[in-house]
Structure 1
Amino acid sequence: MPRTKPVMGAGRRWVVSGLLLAAIGIAFSSLAPAFEGSDWWLRGMVVSAAILLAASATRSLTRVRVLASVIALVVAIVVMTFFFVPSTAIFGVIPTGESFAAFRELDVAGNNDIATQTVPAEATEGIRFLLCLGVAAVTIAVDALVQLFRVPALAGIPLLILLLVPGLIRAEFADPAPFAFVAAIWLAVLIVSSGRSVTRATVVTGAVALVAALIVPAFLPGIEAPESSSAAGGSGATASLNPIITLGADLRNGAPVDALEYRTSDDSPQYLRLTALSNFTGESWAPTGLPRDGTDIEEMGPVPGLGEGITATPLTTTVEVEGVSSRWLPVPYAASGITGLDGEWNWESEGLTVRSADSNARDQQFEVSSVRAEPSVEQLVASDATPVTGMEQYLELPDELPAIVGETAAEVVLGAGSSYERAIALQAFFRAGSFTYSEDAPVDQDFDGSGAEVLAPFLEVRSGYCVHFSSAMAAMARTLGIPSRVIVGFTPGLPFPSGQNGQFTSYQVTTENLHAWPELYFGGIGWVRFEPTPTRGVPPQFAPLDADDPSTPDVDESVPPPTETDPQPVPTPTTTAEAPENLGPDAADENTPADTRQSGIPLGLVVSALAVLVVLSPALLRALVRARRLRAVARGSALDAWKELRDTLDDLGHRVGEELTPQQLVAELAPVLDAEGAAALSRVRDAVETHAFRPAPAEPAPADLRRVLRSMYRSAGVGRSLLAVLAPRSLVRPFLPDVAV
């Protein structure tokens, strides 16, 4: 009996849907190492289950197979609307134009978060949306391949895409267990959907798939994400909460984009801090603690360590964030209260940094009340007389710290008496001229990063960027017994006249101002900023002594230190809509010129390219088979012409069997071919028959075969022809058993 597409009963359809849900759940769970929590997985599985349930129920009620796939798509949109944008929908489930606009915003936010976070990434609402969208697409695809197009063998392609993603993020995430389980379920889908008989080829194929599932993941290439770092003390901080990890890539991003604009109550420039990193693990600097939920940002705590007698000037700063997104809020030190923010924000008492778990600084405009401490040089020199207690965590050094760090520090501060004098000596050591600022040298010479192991080559090469200078000075200060930490934020930016008639000064800060610098702690004064990076930032200014202190030859205390910024033109701020993306600690805008994006290939682009390649691979393979056969026909092979005709029939949905004769093939095709195609088919049939029965057979003409193929595709229509090209059934026919209609 001729071979036909398998026809499943209602019971088997439900079983297959259950198997597909299990396969999708296991494949989707393979992403667990890349994302925090499990809510993203649960949401995705609800979406997948709803789609499969709706499709199976529809098939039980109607014989119009395509209607089930349409209903599945509608249910996917309804469930996604209910989960992510119910406030924009009718009754919370029926999407409107506003709903699709909100979907677009979630798509942009999710891609930004994925592009800028490191693993394990925080599953933000945008990321959850993208994950659910992806699992919905995979579910609809596998259901259609098995139930609508009846090519269950091709259902493994969308599942394979899901399974490959973890290995693309990091090679060690490629776990063979999910591959093996999904391969086993895929084999079960083949058996159940194919009907009552199972061929030896099907069993062999399944066994090969299982073996490959255990072996292939070990050889998958990985796209290494930046190193991660967990905070100590059980804070739960990860690299996704640590802007210093990606600061080097941010600085090398290309053309700068406007990040924010601010002005202060006294028109003075300000460093704006994002986060304080005090836990030096050896792998990187990381936050020791994170802002706690419930802390009121309108009334923040006292300035750590600030004693009586230190001049403290109240200051008000208005900040408007523009072209970057960040869960850390850029604020001056030391903030005492913040108003005007949307969303939930929290602060931590040691660093006075501000962060949100689910809000974003982008497009926020807020006002910060702060205190600017202004100690004198005399007070800094005398600070050693004030006992410093409880600062052990700011003196800890990793065991793998290279010896050159401490040795160099001891040489640099030789002869310096107070902690202040030693700090000034360290700062002068880096800025005196023997070190150069370079964003490329660390990459070229393989010591990029902020870990302990990069400090030795940095001190030898004497070239790097702010991460290296701040990390080196902070580590050297700790070897000298001075508490230290590293701050990530923005340098002051460029001033420009603003307001009516330019009556006050605003400052424009771009992503080029992203920076890291050390803060050192002095008894009775608190944390004091220093600037070791040459040609970047402004060294701190302290209230001068009445006369120069001869004990500190590297600095003239009788006058404020000079500002080390080169004259620069007044910037013309760009609008947010023109701002490039991926140029900040966490993310940025979607309207990005291609030449301003991060160096390297974005993960999303790699996955998309892989998905397109996998989806098109059956079509490419089928095209190669056809080209090989046409070459063989040109050499006189009638058998290859016969095989190509039979496989094309199969691809276009016609009945095909191994016992089909040339006469039967002509009878099958003649009614649907045009006159030219029918005549060409007769000549091809004659060549096939004479090849079998005559000593001197006629040779088939490749042109005739092409005419027949073109006529077959024209008669099949656009939809059937497109399906035949993208999902050629002939490729998997040897693995499918015969099933009666």
Structure 2
Amino acid sequence: MIAAARRHGRTHTAPGTAATRPVEAAPARWQPLIASLIVLAAWALVLDALAPVLAAGAWRGHALAVVTLALVVPGAARTAAPRRPLTGVLLGLLAGAVGLVLVARDGGVLGPWLTDPGAALQEAGGLARSTVPPMTVTGSFEVVVLVACLLLGWACALMSAGGADQVGGTALVPGLALLMPPVLAARSAPGRTVALLAVCVLLLIVTGAPPRRPSRSRPVARRRRVLLALRSGGGRLLAVGLALGLTALLLPVVPEAVVVTPAQTRGGSTSADPTITLGHDLVSGDDRTVLRYTDETDGAPAHRSLRLTLAVIRDLDGTTWQPLDATVPASSVDTLEDADGDGALTAGGAVTASGSDPSAVGLERLRITDVALATDRLPTLQSTALVTDAAGTRTSDWLWVNGTSTATTTADPLERGESYTVLGWTSVAGQDQAAQRPEAATPSAAALTPYTALPAGSPAEVSSRAQEVVSAAGATAPESQATALAAWFHGNGFTYDESAPGSFDGEDASPMDTVRAFLRDRSGYCVHYAATFTLMARSLGLPTRVAVGYATRSDGAGTAVTGEELHAWPEVWIAGQGWTAFEPTPGGAGARADQADATVGEPTPSTSPSTAAPERTASTSAPASSAAAAAAAGADGGRAEGPWPVLRALGGILVVALVLLLPAAVREAERRSRRRRTAEGPARARAAWRELLAEAHDLGLLSASTPLRAQTPEAAAEALGAAVPAGLTAATRLARAATAEHYTDEAPTGTDDLAAGLEEAVAALRASASAPRRVLARLVPRGLAVSLRERRQQPPSARG
């Protein structure tokens, strides 16, 4: 037997002989309480990070109170009575439920759930479906949120009782909530929150690791015990110190909010990178609110079309049309631009040239609040002269882009909750003006020349078609020519089709090829129409540019702007008026904004015999009553919500359920694998013995702290027999078989005997446990840690 061991390159301790090395023990008695406080800190971090989805309010303190009861009560109970973990977990559920009822009663929202729970649930679901993030958590909806927090907090307590603290898994349950901002509001979790959550996970692992203790079978000198304690404590302090030190070092450079760009959220963009949005992202915006504004213009009509510009494109050469971004010389948005040079092309230049006070000249006034738009481009009125009254951001950080009324920054991007006031006007052809505006300054020919330049390779049919259109309309003045061009696209076979190929951002065909294909097929979306209009107008000598931003319709007191309103349109310089927006696109956001009725959906039908491709379901009209209800709830009344909120909620529930069931699934796979190895393959007896140990740990019959007369399989079998006498014979047989197999390379019993012995022992163990204990063993299997924590129960070869 010794020769066989030497042949395999291993030493051993003979059966029945005590091990002489220190062995692992159970975590410290105070560990459950400390772990509950660490997980509670993780919950506090996550609840604060949910601000882009759930607006801050009293609910956050209520949720933290409920989670505290569901977590800390089990932690304290398990610390006081470590041998009754299930009792502590049930006490936590009871305490959390009582706390939830008290909070709901004090808030006056408990009554509807007691009298008519169905109606209360329907009200909460309707609020969740009709409100765009960040949602206000009040009333019945708050109760739903608190119940979810209670259940997830209790799930953390269950996982902690099952040993998940040792791998940091308990803190990952609240961490799953960090998926909500990217999914529901296109905002990734704050970098600092993720870093601090990682620290919580590390602290759980450190505090959950059992200390190294001397073997009970051989006393260790006092000096040796002190050294072991110092080594264990020193290692933990070092790990905690490194974690806190790295956190302090990295937090200053970790961004508080991470921008989710359209490229990262394809099909659901709320960020606005004007370069990217000249591609298909102009048709892939979703219905989440990106910003809100209040029209504070004196005497403005309740409903009017507005353009909120992010950037303008002047230079049309190359395969990618880039927006203007030069800010030299630097001029902040809280000052008027000059009236000479490129400044003559701006609204600020017009106000400067008039010598008027911008606050007294009667300009349009909008108060804009960022909701979920992370961008270095400031949304402004189409012609903005001044930006004032900033809250959360500094106007001095935002600089005018040369020759435009747009602004950019090299400092922190615009983030949620920041607000500011813009003074200026929107000039849309065919729309009445809401306020007075000064006469535009007179720019030099050199300033306008870049806006009349045609790119190399411009299609010949662009110029010829433009001449035909204005000749047929008898248009000679610049404004009438531009009007004739825009009208030509509203008919003559042109259709609105968001699936049209080609782009102007270098992703697909070249811009000129895209224009040729568009004139041939007469089908496209806003960027096709804006680009082609710009080329045709320039061929007539009209200074023209492409603007990218949001086409929105004011709802009076407050208006939500969604990703679906992202739009591109052309602007023509009209002497005396300045830049005027024209709308050649017969559908999409521009058509919806310019209609007199806010509930309009599809554009005017084309005269072409071909059928226009329908717009997305999310862009179709809704009945007037539904639109009014949605507007009252803060949503865009012109679009139907569709099934997405429900699908997102179901998806979130499914993800949480899968994560909670993951340990049980892994344990089941491990169970099946060991039973297969028991029937065939090498080390059959060892597989059977380890499965028996795992089952004993699942049921709480064995643990790392169970006293054993020796660190051998036979000693572990005796401990099992003491707890479950009916399983002593089968457990002893399996233990001896595992030991004999290790030292002789074959089990003394046959495969059938091993399988039968395992079934007999497992059946005895399960019969000794209560039904709740068996259910908990399945859902929170402690046996997963057998291979890491219980190696001392195995022959030496089990280390492999």
TM-score by length of 2: 0.50
Task: Give the aligned partner of residue 702 of structure 2.
Answer: 655
Offset, 1:69: 1.5
Paired position in structure 1 for 2:674: 629
The partner residue of 1:8 within 19, 23, 29 is 29
* 1:535-614 superposed matches below 5 A: 564=607, 592=643, 607-614=652-659
Aligned counterparts, 1:213-252, within 5 A: 223-224=265-266, 226-229=268-271, 247-248=283-284
Q: What is the aligned partner in structure 2 of residue 182 from structure 1? A: 197
Identify the residue that residue 600 of structure 2 maps to in structure 1.
none
**Aligned residue number for residue 330 of structure 1:** none
| Corresponding residue of 1:264 | none
SS of 1:621's partner is helix
Q: Does the C-alpha gap of structure 1 residues 108 and 190 become closer, same or farther in structure 2, counting only changes over 3 Å?
A: farther
Cα deviation, residue 724, structure 1:
1.9
1:698 corresponds to which residue?
Answer: 749
Does structure 1 conserve the Cα–Cα contact (< 8 Å) formed by 2:165 and 2:204? yes
User: Take 1:131 and 1:681, find their aligned partners in 2: how far apart are those partners?
Assistant: 48
CA distance in 2, matches of 1:186, 1:640: 32
State yes or no: 1:441 paired with 2:500. yes
1:16-415 equivalences in 2 (<5 Å): 16-28=35-47, 35=52, 39=56, 43-44=59-60, 47-52=63-68, 56=72, 64-74=87-97, 77-78=100-101, 81=104, 86-90=107-111, 96-98=114-116, 101-102=119-120, 104-110=122-128, 113=131, 122-125=134-137, 136-146=150-160, 148-149=161-162, 151-153=164-166, 154-162=169-177, 173=188, 178-192=193-207, 223-224=265-266, 226-229=268-271, 247-248=283-284, 276-281=307-312, 292=367, 350=425, 389=440, 404=455, 413-414=466-467
Cα deviation code 1:184-228 (max 9, x no counterpart): 3333334445676699999699979979999xx99x996556444
1:461 is the counterpart of 2:514: no
How far has the Cα of 1:640 moved from its partner? 1.2
**Number of positions where the alignment pairs a residue of Structure 1 with one of Structure 2:** 547
> What CA distance in whole angstroms lies between the structure 2 residues aligned with 1:574 and 1:135?
37
Judge conservation of contact 2:37–2:72 (CA < 8 Å) in 1.
no
In structure 2, the CA distance between the partners of 1:467 and 1:624, relative to structure 1 (3 Å rule), is same
Check the 8 A contact 2:27/2:210 in 1, yes or no.
yes
* Deviation of the 1:38 alpha carbon: 7.4
Two-structure CA RMSD over aligned residues (Å): 6.7
| Cα pair 1:58 1:71 within 8 Å, conserved | no
The partner residue of 1:418 within 477, 485, 505 is: 477
1:654 deviates by 0.9
> 1:668 maps to what in 2?
720
Determine the C-alpha separation between the residues in 2 that align with 1:347 and 1:179: 35
Distance 1:660 1:59 in 2: 33
Deviation for aligned residue 1:77: 3.0
Percent identity between the two aligned chains: 19
Cα distance, 1:643 vs structure 2? 0.8
Deviation for aligned residue 1:65: 1.3
Instruction: State the alpha-carbon separation in 2 of the partners of residues 108 and 284 from structure 1.
Output: 41
Distance 1:58 1:440, change over 3 A: closer
Q: Any idea what SS the aligned residue of 2:156 has? A: helix
The answer to whether 1:731 aligns with 2:793 is no
| Cα 1:373/1:650, change in 2 over 3 Å | closer
Structure 1 alignment gaps of length 5 or more: 115-120, 233-238, 252-271, 295-303, 306-345, 354-371, 376-385, 491-512, 542-560
Q: CA deviation at 1:646?
A: 0.5
CA displacement at 1:649 relative to structure 2: 0.5
Q: Deviations over 1:647-699 (max 9, x none)?
A: 1100111124583534752662587598xx88865764564465367777213
Aligned partner of 2:110: which letter?
A
Partner of 2:224: none
Find the partner of 1:721 among 774, 779, 786.
774
Taking the aligned partners of 1:247 and 1:574, their CA distance within structure 2 comes to 24
Unmatched 5+ residue regions in structure 2? 1-17, 82-86, 214-227, 288-302, 314-321, 325-346, 348-363, 370-381, 384-420, 554-563, 596-603, 613-620, 792-800
Cα distance change on mapping 1:227 and 1:431 into 2, 3 Å: same
Alpha carbons 1:164, 1:174 under 8 Å: kept: yes
- Please give the per-residue CA displacement for 1:619-666, whole angstroms capped at 9, x wherever unaligned: 232223223322221226101111110111001111245835347526
The 3 A distance-change label for structure 1 pair 426 and 390 is same
Asked whether the 8 Å contact 1:467–1:516 carries over to 2, the reply is yes
The higher-RCO structure (CA 8 Å, 6+ apart) is: 1
Could you report, residue by residue, the CA deviation over 1:487-514 in whole angstroms, capped at 9, with x for unpaired residues?
A: 8579xxxxxxxxxxxxxxxxxxxxxx99
Q: Secondary structure at the match of 1:110?
A: helix
